[in-house]
Amino acid sequence: MVSRRSMLIALPAAFGWQGLAGHLRATMRGAAKRVAVVFPSDLEPCREAVEGLRLRLSGNELVLAFLDLNKATFDTDAAQERARRAPLIVAVGSEALRAMLEQESPARIISTMTLASDGTAASKAGRVSAAVYLDIPVRTLIAESRKLFPEKTRVGVILNPGRRGDTASQIRSQAPEPVSLQIAECAKADELLPVFLAFRKKVDLVICLPDGSLYNSATARPLIMASLENRLPIVGFSPAFLRSGAAVAVYPDYRGVGQQTADLVRRCLQSGDCTGWETPRKVDVAVNAKVLRMLGMEYKAAANPELVILR
């Protein structure tokens, strides 16, 4: 058996005194890599993202502290975590982002599971270093829709001009041939139904971009009824929208967003590069079979083997 004294003699010989000191500093730095993850457990998409992040970072020399916004002890847990001075905070969802922005902390913030418009003020204030947004490029929405309905080449998009994101001209540039793209601006919830109905007989389907100021419990039912009555299918942005009556939904793979966020965390801690923003690398596509039957439409499931079908 090697004695402790022999080890103490052997280590300097192997590394040299300076090399040993550098090795120990590196080990201490690795042990000090602490990341606080703030999330609301009552939102399933956020839970999925956290699970993806946790799995991606498992096996790394990191200490992950998970702080649940819905827990009664959250304020106490957050105060204790601030005292530990974690250099990096991951805010999962807009509620978590708001909670972190209300607290004074020198820690860098990576935002995830939010829309680009949610991060505007935070980015301007310099509080958010990097982000994975939920916004899906319109070119992707069109491409996924056409896999299911290749004959549907006339596409309408409802755009809120007051929200951060691509402009109308930028969206038009994303339309591939032979798609004919029409864009209608809608700035207020009470304008949504007239704007949608203006697409009648002009487009084959309407893409609704995520926007909490336009789509809510008050506007959803009239919009779905108008879709069915006018045989004008809606491409929604969430499983909830699909269940409400959208014909199709294209939304981020939430676990994949968590994995993508974990890659940002690693990059930030390893290289110090904590800047930039990304959109989802992977999306999920789902159809409401009942709604499509009511609209007299058929979809090509073979074009998307991972298609989710709500019956």
Pair (21, 146) in one structural domain:
no
Q: Which of 13-17, 19-23, 122-126, 211-215 has the highest mean pLDDT?
A: 211-215
CA 14 to chain centre: 47
Give exposure, 97-106, as e/b (b: 16+ Cβ within 10 Å): bebbbeeebe
**How confident is the model at residue 58, as a pLDDT?**
87
Verify that 171 and 206 share a domain, yes or no.
Answer: yes
Compute the average pLDDT of residues 170-185.
92
Domain that holds residue 213: 138-252+284-310
Segment 264-286 shows an average pLDDT of 92
Separation of alpha carbons 265 and 267, rounded Å = 5
Predicted local distance difference test score (pLDDT) of residue 134: 96
Query: CA of 24: how far to CAs of 11, 30, 63, 278, in Å?
Result: 11, 10, 18, 35
Mean of the per-residue pLDDT values of the chain: 87
Report the percentage of the chain scoring pLDDT > 70. Answer: 87
* 123 and 83 part of one domain: yes
Task: Identify whether residues 18 and 165 lie together within a single domain.
Answer: no
Whether residue 186 contacts residue 215, with contact meaning beta carbons closer than 8 Å, is answered with: no
Query: Do both 192 and 298 map to the same domain?
Result: yes
pLDDT score, position 8: 32
Rg of the chain over Cα atoms, rounded to whole angstroms, equals 24
What CATH code is carried by the domain that includes residue 166? Answer: 3.40.50.2300
Confidence at residue 256, expressed as pLDDT on a 0 to 100 scale: 98
Q: What is the dihedral of CA 133, 139, 144, 146, to 10 degrees?
A: 160
Same domain, 234 and 271: no
- Is the pLDDT at 14 greater than 60? The verdict is no
Mean pLDDT of 221-241: 97
Please check whether residues 158 and 115 belong to one and the same domain.
no
Exposed e or buried b per residue across 31-47, where buried means at least 16 C-beta atoms within 10 angstroms of its C-beta? eebbbbbbbbeebebbb
Share above pLDDT 90 across residues of the chain, in percent, rounded to a whole number: 71
- pLDDT band for position 44 (cuts 50, 70, 90): very high
Instruction: Give tens-digit pLDDT for 45-89.
Output: 999 999 999 999 987 678 999 999 999 999 999 999 999 999 999
Check residue 118 and give its pLDDT: 76
Claim to verify: residue 181 and residue 298 sit in the same structural domain = yes
Q: How many domains does the chain have?
A: 3
Asked if the model's pLDDT at residue 23 lies above 80, the reply is no
Residue 122: pLDDT band by 50, 70, 90 thresholds? Answer: low
Clarify whether residues 96 and 201 are in a common domain: no
Q: Is the pLDDT of residue 4 over 60?
A: no
**pLDDT attached to residue 161:** 92
Residue located via tokens 């993202």: 49
At residue 166, the pLDDT reads 83
